[in-house]
Structure 1
């Protein structure tokens, strides 16, 4: 699909990658851009329509879908990480459940709510923001990794479920980006603007997956080897 003249809805659009998506959609000539966040007052980008949305609250998801029935491109970007290890004891389950509510059930609920509108508007597309951690589990992010692995499976399932109505589903996998979430992580980081540019180009080319940096491509390629990266010590 083409971004120009599309109607775009972006979750978690107040900062980081979501904000980069909003800026790019406006620059690409989208007819309308809905920028969703828990606090719509945090949306300050000119030329977008702020929407109040906590993806973990079903009533807000349904209200957004009713209000924004002209959407043709949905970008499920909202995500959280709580830094939980699998053997942590204090609040581990509670924190992991919060990650799954936002990272898995959130995009599922939003995609399901907007699917009828996408169908009515010609099919359109969904972009799900995933991670290199869909395939890896790192110390300090084990439950986040599990939620993103589940979201990868969700994306593949949505692609099958929405194929008949002509909705394209694109999964974005990326390692570390220069955003607030990774501000304390050392090492090189991808530019959100570059990741967005790759994603929108892949969307317009009809692709189903974006591997946005060299490390992500290396890990994906290694999944079919005798010593896949998720099994490395």
Structure 2
């Protein structure tokens, strides 16, 4: 899919990776960019159209689909994370909260906009996933599980939307330098770098983009004699 002249809706577009997507889309000649956020007043990027959208609220998703009927590319970027393992006291409540955004938000947005994309010629759907789709060390247990579920959802949507010629791309990356990872003392990619690789892949017709070295290593490690998702011994 070509970005030039596309009409794009980006969820969580007021900061981080979503804001980087909005900037790069405009730079590549997108005709219109809907910048969706829970509070549209936080969308300050010139040239975009702010859109109120909390992906955990079905009524706001329906309103967005009714308003943005010209969308040809949906980028499901909105996501949340919180440290904690599954044996923590609050793990069930935390998992439910994270899944509402990271899985059900993606599911419901994709359902709401599938017909919009079909009407506009097929277009494309880009889901922001993670290297955590494939590994879960327990530090971000619910987040990793939600990204695994979103990866499976993305794979299913690719099959279900093939008949209407909608391209479905899954974007995987490691740590990115955003507010979400501010407290993590690890090597991070820039949001701008990740977004450029994602959109390059989209325009090349890719199904999946492994946007950094860490993600590529994790993916290769899935087929190792002792797969990378298992505890590693020295």
Question: How far 1:94 sits from its partner (Å)?
Answer: 1.1
Query: CA RMSD for the aligned pairs?
Result: 0.7
Distance of 1:226 and 1:11 partners within structure 2 = 39
**1:71-99 CA distance string (max 9 Å, x none):** 0000000000121211001x221111010
Residue pair 1:84, 1:96 contacting (<8 A) in 2 also: no
Question: How far 1:15 sits from its partner (Å)?
Answer: 0.2
Distance of 1:214 and 1:221 partners within structure 2 = 11
Q: Which moved more, 1:101-110 or 1:138-147?
A: 138-147
1:165 maps onto 2:164 in alignment: yes
Partner of 1:213: 212
Partner of 1:118: 117
Question: How far 1:222 sits from its partner (Å)?
Answer: 1.2
**1:4-52 CA distance string (max 9 Å, x none):** 0000000000000000000001111100000000000000000000000
Partner SS state of residue 86, structure 2: coil
Partner of 1:78: 78
Partner of 1:226: 225
Partner SS state of residue 163, structure 2: coil
1:201 maps onto 2:203 in alignment: no
Give the TM-score normalised by structure 2.
0.98
Matches within 5 A, 1:1-233: 1-89=1-89, 91-233=90-232
Which structure 2 residue ranges, 5 or more long, are not aligned?
Answer: none
Q: Which moved more, 1:138-147 or 1:95-104?
A: 138-147
Partner SS state of residue 231, structure 1: coil
Which structure 1 residue ranges, 5 or more long, are not aligned?
Answer: none
**1:46-66 CA distance string (max 9 Å, x none):** 000000000000010011001
Question: How far 1:191 sits from its partner (Å)?
Answer: 0.8
**1:112-151 CA distance string (max 9 Å, x none):** 1000010010100000000010011123201110000000
Distance of 1:35 and 1:215 partners within structure 2 = 29
Distance of 2:60 and 2:207 partners within structure 1 = 28
**1:175-208 CA distance string (max 9 Å, x none):** 0000001111112110110101000000000000
Give the TM-score normalised by structure 1.
0.98
